[in-house]
Amino acid sequence: MAGERDALRERTLAGATAAGRPRAPRLDQPRPPRRRILPEWDPDAFGRLSERIARFLGTGRFIVWMTVVIILWVLWNVSVPKELRFDEYPFIFLTLALSLQASYAAPLILLAQNRQDDRDRVNLEQDRKQNERSIADTEYLTREIAALRIGLGEVATRDWIRSELEDLVKGLEIRQNGHKEHHGTHPAMRAEHPPGRDADDR
């Protein structure tokens, strides 16, 4: 009985500790998205917008439009009656607007330059890998051409075959001429020594 009580107590304590232990997040399920105070935006879309603005700021059309706006601003605040003027001399509001424009234009231009630098870095990396592949292909072709040259050095050429055939023809001609000479002297030997008689018969 005491042993059963102890086992039951251990089970109860193990269950209590398991229930009180915080559950670990499961690895087979994605984490729930965190709540953010700041609004979320697409950095790629914002980067494209900044590049468009930077391109427009770097054109002559922007300079012409800005010059026209400044001239109209100054003429309006100088020539119209005082009741209709909104920025009298020394044009503090115009200075503030131009400063605000410059403070926004500089980061946008820097952002566009950073994106361009990233693209250039990727292009340079791709060019480097392409050059490495081209060098490897060139080395492989060079080794193959060297192997072909070595193999062609051991192949019989047309001139070598022709010279060998000429030597064989000459050898055959020499043998044939020698054979003819041998057969030419043989009948004379027959006349001197008629068949059927031997030197011992004399």
Kindly state the DSSP code that residue 82 receives in the 8-state scheme: G
pLDDT tens-digit series, residues 109-120: 888 888 889 889
pLDDT tens-digit map of 37-94: 776 767 778 888 888 888 888 888 999 999 999 999 999 988 888 888 888 888 899 9
Instruction: Name the 3-class secondary structure at 144.
Output: helix
Joined together, the tokens standing for residue 160 give 């070598």
CA distance 147 to 151: 6
Residue 120 · residue 127 · CB < 8 Å: no
Q: How confident is the model at residue 160 (pLDDT cuts 50, 70, 90)?
A: confident
**Mean pLDDT for all residues in the chain:** 78
What is the average per-residue pLDDT within 88-104?
89
Q: How many residues does the chain have?
A: 202
Q: How far apart are CA 140 and CA 146, in angstroms?
A: 10
Distance CA 94, CA 48 (A): 29
Q: For residue 39, say if its preceding peptide bond is cis, omega within 30 degrees of 0.
A: no
Evaluate whether 31 touches 25 at the Cβ level (below 8 Å).
Answer: yes
String of b and e for 100-137 (b: at least 16 CB within 10 Å)?
eeeeeeeebbebbeebeeeeeeeeeeeeeeeeeeeeee
Tokens of 115: 């994106």
Q: What is the pLDDT of residue 185?
A: 52
